[in-house]
Each structure stands twice: as structure tokens, then as C-alpha cells.
Amino acid sequence: MNFARGNTSGKEGLAWLVRILEINPEARVITTTAYGEIDLAVQAMKLGAVDFIIKPWNKDQLLASIRNVFAQNRIDKADKKHKYNRPDSDHILNSRYPQIFSKSASMMQVLETIKTVAPTDANVLIMGENGTGKELAAWSLHSESLRKNNAFVHVDLGAIPETLFEAELFGHTRGAFTDAKEDRTGRFQAASGGTLFLDEIGNLNKSMQAKILTAVQHREIIKIGTNQPVSINIRLISATNMPLYQMAESFEFRQDLLYRINTVEIILPPLRERKEDISLIADYYIKQYSEQYGKQGISITADTLGKLEHYQWPGNIRELAHAIERAVILNKSGTLKPEDFILKIKVQPSPLMDEPIVSVEDYERKAIINALSKNNGNLSRAANDLGVARSTLYRKISQFGLEFWK
């Protein structure tokens, strides 16, 4: 947004945004700056930007934004060229997020709830195992809402260190602390007028929970370095794979916060309970990865689909997508066969998993041990299975004294 030395207004970026869209109206432009303010973000979105990201950006947020922009562009081109036929429209919530497929009764009920709740401003809590599509459900709620033309701000709470929590979520003023050289807009304020998606909300400690509760309850935040409250107008969506009700009973998660965030609750079923959807999802990812890796035309046999439907998919849709991507990359025949998928029918738990789960920390510790054991100590794959950032996994490993896995 700023190119000339000393400029912080964002006017140069806005000028280039207009010029880019004059040259190519179909271009997708993501704007990014360290000097983000609400007015600038709104102006950029009105001029045609598809997203507005504040520096320093969160890696997962940036990648998610790019992937969504890329997917939408590819879908639009496919629509124009009729390159391939997507599944029946009854199985898809909307064309912008084609990853949400279903013909199962349990998932169709979820999609109907999303369609009903989306136009309201009700706070929504999305619960489900890792890899079941909680982020996609949140995106769908936003895209079907009256706020769809405004910002969707995704915050991975598990990836934010406690020391940066307030600065990231509520922002700060210039000089509020060392290295605070400019005013910074927090995620709550950046989402004002749109949707704020708080992912992994179950990972917050009690202090962080209290600060979130105050902001959500009063719909205002206070930046670090000032006592002046700033009003916010957000639609709040939260998500977790943690047992929040059990955590509330053991006073590890605030009951008042739980009641604030779950005006409507959506529970996503695991893939093993919607096996009739596996063929739809597999077809989508085969087409996606075939195009991505230049192997168009790859098909899959009925026996292979049978094998995929028999597997329990502990990592849910994320695991299925990874398995298909690997099979497409290694495939040479143009047809995916059962032997192209090496699936662990039963994951052997670590001996340390024999201990009973007596607390949330114990639950987290055992989940981490299970993921590390399943992935033979590979931290990146374990983090993917757990649905957290690699840095979060590192921090948890140190917290629980599991350094021997590093």
C-alpha cells in the first residue's frame, strides 16, 4: 500500500489497485500494509480488493486468503469455459466455497442450519474434530450473511503468543511499548462491519478468556496505550475441537464466555459418520490436484472408492485431501487404484496413552502424543493432524515436557 519512503497513507496502493483493475477487471488483489486503519481497509474493499491484511501477518491467515482467492478465480474460469461439471447444486452450499459437499443427512442438516442462521447476527460456535471443515463452515456463514461484502477476519488463537495477545486482537497506539512505532489496528477493529472468526477458542487461558468476554459483551475494545474505548460492530463466529462444556464444568473455560459465544451451536460430524460424502469430496480433490500438478484426466476405480469409504479417517477431510494429493502426485497410470493409498487402518497408541484423561491439559498432552506417534515424530504432519500451527505444537511440547519428540 505504501512505496515511497515515509508514506503511510496507503494512497499509492489504492491508486495501483484502481489501475490494476482497469487493466484486468478479473484480477484478484490482496492489499497489505503495516499502517492499516479501518477507513483504509473499507476504501480498499470498496475499490475492489478481495482482502486486507495487516503486517506482520499471520502465516496461516495469509495462506488461507491466497488459497481462497486462487480457488475462486479457478472456479469462475471453469464456469465460463464449462471445463468440468461440479456436483449437483443440492450437494453444495454455494459456488464460492465448493469444498463443502454433502448428500448425507447429518451434514445436510448442518448446511440447512448455516443457511438459516447466516443472515442473522447471532454468535455461532462451531464444534467438531480436527479436519471436519470448521473454517469452511465459518466462511459459509459469512458469505451467506448481510455482511458478506465486508471483512472476514480469521484469528488463529492457538498461534498467538500470550505476550502479543492484546496487541494482535485489540491493537495499540504509537509508543505504547518498545517497537510500537505506529498505531496498529487490532483484529476486532479490523473486522468491524464484518465477521470475526475466532478459531481454536478452547486454547485460551483464563486471562485471555476474560479479555475476550469483555470485548464481546460490551462490543468495544481498548487499544494498548490508551484508555479510550473504541466501538466495534462484529458478527462473532468461534470454533474449537476442545470439550468446552466439560472445561466449563471444571472451571477451565468461563461459563459466561461459553454462553456468550454459542447463541447458535453447530456441530460438524466426522467423516466416518458421513461416508456417503467421500466420493463427492474425493472427486473434488482429484480434480483440484490433477489440475494443480498437470495431470488432468485422472480417474478413480470403484474398488478404490470402496477402500476410502471403509477407512475411518481419524484426520477427517484434511486427511482425505492429503491422501488424494499424495496419490495424484505419485500416480503414473492415470487411474487411482487401491494400492495407491497407504492407509493406517489402526493407529497404535503410544504406551504413554494408557493413563486416564483427568483434565484438559491431560487431554491435550495425550492428543499431542497420539499425533506424534501416528506421524513417527514428524512435527509438521502432527501439527496438521492436530489443526494447529507448528509453533503452537512446539510450545505445547515444551509445556508438557515432551522435548524428546523434537
Tens of pLDDT along 341-377? 988 654 444 444 444 444 566 667 778 888 887 777 7
Cell numbers found for residue 185:
489496528
Whole-angstrom distance, CA of residue 385 vs CA of residue 308: 18
Cell numbers found for residue 282:
474425493
Which has the closest alpha carbon to 314: 394, 370, 389?
370
Task: Write down the mean pLDDT value for the chain.
Answer: 81
Cell numbers found for residue 130:
480436527
Which domains can be identified in the chain, with CATH numbers?
A: 1-58+67-85 (3.40.50.2300), 91-267 (3.40.50.300), 273-338 (1.10.8.60), 351-401 (1.10.10.60)
Residue 138 confidence (pLDDT) above 90 = yes
Helix axes 105-117, 134-143, angle to 10 degrees: 40
Q: Give pLDDT, residue 94.
A: 35
Q: How confident is the model at residue 261 (pLDDT cuts 50, 70, 90)?
A: very high
Mean pLDDT, residues 94-123 taken together: 80
Whole-angstrom distance, CA of residue 196 vs CA of residue 187: 8
Whole-angstrom distance, CA of residue 400 vs CA of residue 392: 12
Q: CA 233, 238, 243: angle at the middle one, nearest 5?
A: 150
Measured torsion, CA atoms of residues 367, 373, 378, 381, in degrees rounded to the nearest 10: -50
Q: Sign of dihedral through CA atoms 365, 273, 290, 346?
A: positive
- Do 36 and 52 meet the contact criterion of CB atoms below 8 Å apart? yes
Q: Give pLDDT, residue 361.
A: 65
3-state secondary structure of 313: coil
Q: How confident is the model at residue 110 (pLDDT cuts 50, 70, 90)?
A: very high
Which has the closest alpha carbon to 188: 229, 138, 159, 225?
229
Q: Give pLDDT, residue 357.
A: 42
Residue 34 confidence (pLDDT) above 90 = no
Mean pLDDT, residues 215-240 taken together: 91
Residue 338 confidence (pLDDT) above 60 = yes
DSSP letter at 158?
G
Q: Give pLDDT, residue 84.
A: 32
- pTM exceeds 0.85 for this model: no
